[in-house]
Chain A
Amino acid sequence: MTKKSLDHVLKEYIDGIKSIYPKADYLFSNDTLFIVVPKEKLRDVTEFIHNKMDCYLRTCLGSDERPLLGHFALYHIFGDDRNGLNIVVKTYLDPKKPVAPTIMDIVPAADWCEMEARDLLGIEFEGRKQYRLVLPVGWPDNLHPLRKDVPYNIRPRPSAVGERITPPKTATATIPVGPYHPALHEPEYFELYVEGETVVDVKYRGFHVHRGIEKLGESRMNYQQVNFLAERICGICGFVHSTCYAQAVEKAAKIDVPERAKFIRSIVLEIERIHSHLLWIGVAAHLLGYDTGFMHAWRIREHIMVLAEFLTGSRKTYGINLVGGVRRDINEDKKKQAIEVLDKVEKDYMEYLKALLAVPEVKKRATETGILPKEDARKLSVVGPTARGSGLDRDVRRDVPYAAYNYVDFNVPVYDSGDNLARLLVRADEVIESIKIIRQLLDQLPKGPIMAEDFEIPENRAAVSLAEAPRGEDIHYIITGDGRPYRWKVRAPTYQNIPALKVMLKGAPLADAPLTIASIDPCFSCTDRIYVINETSARKIVRIGIGLCPG
């Protein structure tokens, strides 16, 4: 994209917004257009950006800026991937009684993030049904943990928690069905309403893993410590989160990261992707009752885990990202070993894949199940392999290159059928692409330092950063503060994909539900949100706790 066309696009946005609100303030920094509008004009501006300019909502967030400006602020972040642009719309809200207009009827995807802002900051949204989303049951109504006057370690009524045990609706008696059921792994759960063996409705219950990460990053920690916190948002795709965070700060502070550090980041990111996809393929095989497939996928994956440990010092949560660069270098010896491991893994993996797809049950049960048509996929704006399995060709690594991805050449596998098999094949192909990418990166690894020298992070700068996690695009938004982020917001890919499950599951056999749920590779540690639908006439309730960041 040339400079001229960017200017042109920007002018289009600014003119459009000026025509709605002539006094709108705007600022263009990095790849992000920041606009301030009053709350009365918010809905019109949203409509313009979302409907006229065909952007999609990345996320929205509230922020307590009373100590700075005497107001609450509400940010809506929109994305324009065709031009690689982010548009941040800021609205000031009353410091005493923050009330904002909802945009949920214009942008359905704003449902969860509005409710999250309500829970965490006490911002009320007019014109929609409001409910508790994030905080546990029994949490005091007027206590909003993300407000700056609330300490991060406040623990109201810890003893009251025990009283919240609700007896199960059916005669399941003492069995803790629900969050900790069959396919282990993660405590979020789905209630599948079934008639006979057919799923008639789905209800997702979540937020068991809400750990107060954003508040922690804004209060107890400093810039460098947050890297380690971000990595622990998710234990499977954690490095994406820490990279995304580090990039956001680097963008906001305009820090020049050495090329070598960028390469190392990309290499580790791709290693993480291979591990994540192999893990998922193994679990998918297990869900189909094919344990041999599970074991061998994880056997091959073990080489990657050992390689990750050899390169970074830990099998998972690698802990090598810092704002400004990385902590561990890749020397010639490591490079050689990495290539050896990759060769072996590629060979074993190709063979394994043949074996897996030869099993009749795997093919039969993955084909034509859990179908997500392309139109639905586009409407719900799903991301990652879920989108690519439904024929949407989008990948942040290629569309908005970050780290060292603009130095490599790779394919983005896309399948059109939208069923579980398509999503399986997308991941299967991506493993091979990732191996290809790592080879290229190792080959071109530039010389130089791995850490930027002496930099300062100025206050009150903001940036949006994107990264392609194994499950889709990851978004971090940051406002810098004194020694630590003033506001830090994370949007994980699973957030975008979960609503698609309803489409995939309805009317499908119960036996396919675990695979279908797993097929979006949900990562609840990252997501932590709730999807609520109306309970319809269902005879039996089966609660299924599928975990999985796929696992």
Chain B
Amino acid sequence: MSEYIKKSIWVFHLNTGSCNACDIEILDALTPYFDAERLGVKLVVSPRHADALLLTGPITYESLPKVIRAIEAVPRPRFILALGSCAVGGGIWHDTYSTIGGVPELLKILKNRGIEVDGVYYVPGCPIRPEALIYAVGILKGILQKKVKMRVRKAIA
């Protein structure tokens, strides 16, 4: 089922309290120099049409219920792309009083409420480069391999 999505990824963009830098870079990814449309990416205007949600920002309390509602409105199979350091790890405001601290926390809330998501992709960057978004799309499509891996290194005295 999700095989078909790889050829045609319709995305809906939600700013959940980001500073706009990631948001303009998302738009930038659609413009001539990057042209995400050549990879089948299309920005749609309703979450009901979307396959993937682009979340930017650390998810403020004020936006949380709306984010949950948007996720519910996306027909399955649905994916989440956490874009930028705020969405991935809460960014510079990961522990302030008015944010929940990023998509990992959101996923816990979703799990508690029984809302399923078919895949989550994390795209660090502050802001993300348009290429970073295209790279993530490449991973979602299966044409690229991820390069990062958890590392634990011992400093030998």
Contacts and interface: CB of A to CB of B under 8 A. Distances in A.
A and B in contact, CB less than 8 Å: yes
Interface of A: 135-139, 145, 150, 152-155, 158-159, 161-162, 164-165, 174-176, 178-182, 184-187, 207-213, 215-216, 220, 228-229, 232-236, 238, 279, 282, 294-296, 298-299, 302, 305, 314-317, 523, 525, 547, 549, 551
Nearest to A168: B69
A238 B127 CA distance: 12
Contact of B93 (A187, A212, A294): A212
A236 B21 contact: yes
Given A176-B70, A187-B66, A315-B129, A210 B23 contact: no
Interface stretch (B2-10, B25-33, B116-124, B142-150): B25-33
- Most chain B beta carbons < 10 A, residue from A158, A178, A232, A547: A232
Given A187-B16, A210-B60, A316 B65 contact: no
Nearest to B22: A235
6 contacts: A164-B65, A174-B73, A182-B45, A208-B16, A236-B20, A295-B32
B48 A175 contact: yes
Nearest to A134: B98
B95 A208 contact: no
B23 A547 contact: yes
Nearest to A173: B73
Interface in B7-64: 12-25, 27-28, 31-33, 43, 45-48, 57-58, 60-64
Contact of B31 (A150, A164, A209, A302): A302
A549 B64 CA distance: 21
A174 B69 contact: yes
Contacts of B33: 299, 302
B90 to A, nearest CB: 10
- Most chain A beta carbons < 10 A, residue from B31, B58, B61, B95: B61
A298 B97 contact: no
Nearest to A283: B27
A139 B21 CA distance: 28
A242 B82 CA distance: 26
B28 A305 contact: yes
Contacts of B64: 161-162
A187 B28 contact: no
Contact of B57 (A209, A279, A314): A209
A302 B28 contact: yes
Given A138-B61, A232-B92, A235-B24, 15 more contacts: A135-B98, A155-B97, A174-B73, A175-B46, A178-B66, A186-B23, A208-B62, A210-B60, A211-B60, A234-B20, A236-B24, A238-B21, A294-B31, A299-B32, A317-B127
Interface of B: 12-25, 27-28, 31-33, 43, 45-48, 57-58, 60-66, 68-70, 72-73, 91-93, 95-100, 109, 112-113, 126-127, 129
A229 B23 contact: no
Given A136-B60, A178-B66, A305-B28, A215 B96 contact: yes
- Most chain B beta carbons < 10 A, residue from A150, A161, A238: A161
7 closest cross-chain pairs (CB), A and B: A235-B21, A212-B96, A298-B31, A235-B19, A235-B20, A136-B61, A153-B95
B92 A165 contact: no
A213 B72 CA distance: 30
A220 B97 CA distance: 12
A210 B31 contact: no
Contact of A523 (B12, B20, B62): B20
A249 to B, nearest CB: 18
A370 to B, nearest CB: 22
A233 B31 contact: no
Given A153-B95, A235-B23, A302-B28, A547 B66 contact: no
B31 A228 contact: no
Contacts of A136: 60-62, 98
A137 B61 CA distance: 9
A216 B96 contact: yes
B61 to A, nearest CB: 4
A182 B25 CA distance: 18
A358 B109 CA distance: 51
A180 B31 CA distance: 22
A176 B93 contact: no
- Most chain B beta carbons < 10 A, residue from A155, A181, A282, A547: A155
Given A165-B65, A299-B32, A551 B93 contact: no
A165 B62 contact: no
